[in-house]
Amino acid sequence: MERPIVGIAALIINEKNEVLLGLRNSELGKNTWAPPGGKLDKFESFEDCITREVKEETDLDINNLVFMCVTNDIKEDIDAHYVTLFFSTTNYNGYEKIMEPEKCLEWKWFNPNELPENIFFPFKNFLDGNFMG
């Protein structure tokens, strides 16, 4: 029996209250915007996972993560099912860089009231309030 994948996302907020989003270049969600994150590895803690994923994707070091919510992200039309844990932080060091161009084309800071239309489906569920937690 196939099971959902556990995903983790970090809402990194800068001093202007903007959120960092990346333009996805991977097959799943190509050309949609999403916060940095990835998949939980076996035996990995949530904090270790999100810290690792953010570093791998953006080269940022993050600290003081706050758990926000969980979304149940189902897209049967593309045979995708994720359970995504969202965390936030305002505590980060460094400057965002494209570390994995095959996965992300661009990092950009967005005003939360001026987000792009093309949002990755787990982040859309978060924004629409379709979550538990």
pLDDT in tens, the chain (133 residues): 589 999 999 999 999 999 999 999 999 999 999 999 999 999 999 999 999 999 999 999 999 999 999 999 999 988 999 999 999 999 999 999 999 999 999 999 999 999 999 999 999 999 999 866 4
Domains identified in the chain, total number: 1
Question: Taking the model in full, what pTM does it have?
Answer: 0.94
Residue 42 buriedness (CB in 10 A; 0-12 / 13-18 / 19+): exposed
Per-residue CA distances from 73 to 14, 85, 101 (Å): 27, 11, 25
Q: What CATH number has the domain bearing residue 25? A: 3.90.79.10
Structural domain span for residue 113: 5-132
Take residue 25 and report the two structure tokens written for it.
Answer: 């270049």
- Residue 45 CB neighbour total at 10 angstroms: 10
Are the C-beta atoms of residues 5 and 39 closer than 8 Å to each other? yes
Q: Is 25 helix (H, G, I), strand (E, B) or coil?
A: coil
Give me the amino acid identity at 132: M
Helices (H), ranges, the chain: 46-58, 121-127
What is the rounded distance in angstroms from the CA atom of residue 62 to the CA atom of residue 99?
A: 16
Phi, psi for 40 (deg, rounded to 5): -70, 130
Residues 6+ apart with CB under 8 A from 129: none
